[in-house]
Amino acid sequence: MESSDILSVDKSPDSYDEYKFPLDEHYRKMAQEGLGETDEICQQSLTQMREWIAKHPFIGKCRTDSLFLLRFLRMRKFSVPKAQETLERYLAMRQAFPHWFQKLDPLDADMQELLEDNQFQILGQDSKRRTVSLIKLKSFNVEKFTSAHQSRHMQLLLETLFDDERTQIGGYVVMAL
């Protein structure tokens, strides 16, 4: 991985990425009708979130890229105060349970083996364009891995799903066996 591939956690960078809606008209319509998202609301909300993060006395490090912040804005239908509260809870959870969030590297040997076991799979999309995932809990190797491994592996999958704009807008379905 090159240094340019690493996402910044500088809460107040010199500049921010410029967001342009990358998906087709179907998703634009879903975002507008289901989430109240327009280009103007999106830009205003991103600016408000970034200003709030930069001034927040208890946030030391935080991604401020559009894709990350849109997770919270879309989850809360562009209610900035609710998105801020959700982001605070997310960051608090990362602090309270660091073993779930550290070493979320798909190239890590343990994560590689868990990924190869196909315990968690993205199956595609359903007719409503929701991302469909399968979790095969029964295939987890308890002889070799701990619940901390499983938590990290699940979090790796979730972080990946939550950074996918199709999932942010269309939602997801999880099936567990």
Per-residue model confidence as pLDDT tens for the chain (177 residues): 334 456 899 999 999 999 999 999 999 999 999 999 999 999 999 999 999 999 999 999 999 999 999 999 999 999 999 999 999 999 999 999 888 888 788 898 988 888 888 788 889 999 999 999 998 877 788 888 888 888 888 898 889 899 999 999 999 999 988
* Three-class SS state of 61: strand
Residue 1: predicted pLDDT: 33
Residue 99: predicted pLDDT: 82
Find the angle CA(30)-CA(35)-CA(39) to the nearest 5 degrees. 85
Instruction: Give this prediction's pTM.
Output: 0.89
Contacts of 94 (CB under 8 A, 6+ apart): 100, 101
Output the six-digit token pair for 6. Answer: 């690493």
Residue 138: predicted pLDDT: 79
| CA separation for the pair 128, 18 (Å, rounded) | 29
Could you give the count of Cα atoms lying within 13 Å of 63 in the half-sphere of its Cβ? 16
Output the six-digit token pair for 35. Answer: 């989430």
In the numeric block, the tokens 């987890």 are attached to 140
CATH of domain 3-96: 1.10.8
Could you give the count of Cα atoms lying within 13 Å of 109 in the half-sphere of its Cβ? 2
Residue 154: predicted pLDDT: 86
Residue 6: predicted pLDDT: 67
Domain with CATH 1.10.8 in the chain: 3-96
CB 23 within 8 A of CB 70: no
Find the angle CA(154)-CA(16)-CA(96) to the nearest 5 degrees. 35
* Residue of 59, 15, 30 whose CA lies nearest to 171: 30
How many CB atoms neighbour CB 100 within 10 A? 18
| CA separation for the pair 165, 128 (Å, rounded) | 15
